[in-house]
Amino acid sequence: MPWVLHVDLDQFIAAVEVLRRPELAGLPVVVGGRGDPTERGVVSTASYEARAFGVRSGMPLRTALKKCPDAVFLPVDKPAYDEASAGVMDALRSLGTAVEVLGWDEAFVAVPDDVADEEAALAFAHAIQARVLERTALHCSVGIGDNKIRAKNATDLGKPRGTFTLTRDNWWTVVGDRPTDGIWGIGGKTAAKLARLGISTVRELGAYDEEALAAQLGPTMGPWYRRLARGVDTSPVDPTPWVPRSHGHEVTFQTDLTDPAEVEAEVRRLAEAATRDVVEDGRPAVRVRLKIRYVPFDTRTRSVTLPEPTSDATTIADAAAGLLERTDRTRAVRLVGVAAEMAPPA
């Protein structure tokens, strides 16, 4: 049986911060925004100690403060996390097998051909945990599967600092009775759509008629959700370096913006910042995307394809500002973001 591992760093951002500040070990740590919980901003990550109080990623910092008033709040430091992530991925590659990077803190790892049984796959997973810890002082959990989907779903079942194995043999026993959003790739909105079809568990989704799902949820996504529920996947671990599809910037305002001219000025400023990243990347922008969040928390997105690929700041800023005409200019705004999507690599 071929084996795939999914490696996921435990509380990655918080763990990096604790490495830099050992005195924070064992304390509830929350990282987000500028590190000031009285400001607007969201939680990027929380240590396990903070999660015990109900603090979760994506939660407003002010809510996190209410749930855990004794937490240590720290600002986001992206360069530090980039450096730590690179060290982790180098440690994984040092084992001499294919590594498919999924983000800062996770990757699929191909298992060597001579690893034939579950016991050997488990030993390789332990070797990965030891290598990452030795090289970076960070702990990770490892999901073991007979394909990428099962390995990915197995990881959370092994957290923290552990391993878990999911294969065709135990898939339904372990995940069959979980809610549909209890598996990778299905979120709350999709689970709600499935519930309207009378589908509430992974087992029910896996057994549902594929044509009916295609009719209800689309010809691509309907069958895809069914495959996720069945743990079906044939894709290999792809070591091709990850290439960003877009560059973007966003800002949350500490005071709501009510003047449309101020909103446009911020949009243009963010578009210029995104353009600088596009120029540095060396690929022109082909599409511009605007994100706008109204008071209290209503978020809308708009996008436009550019007439031709470009790295011109004025053209990209004009396109972003033009998208504002497709929004409600009378509402107070708490956040705006602009992203420039780039042409694929040659």
**Candidate list 106, 264, 266, 341, residue with the active-site label:** 106
Is 106 an annotated catalytic residue? Answer: yes
What does the block give as tokens for 227?
Answer: 């495959």
List active site positions.
106
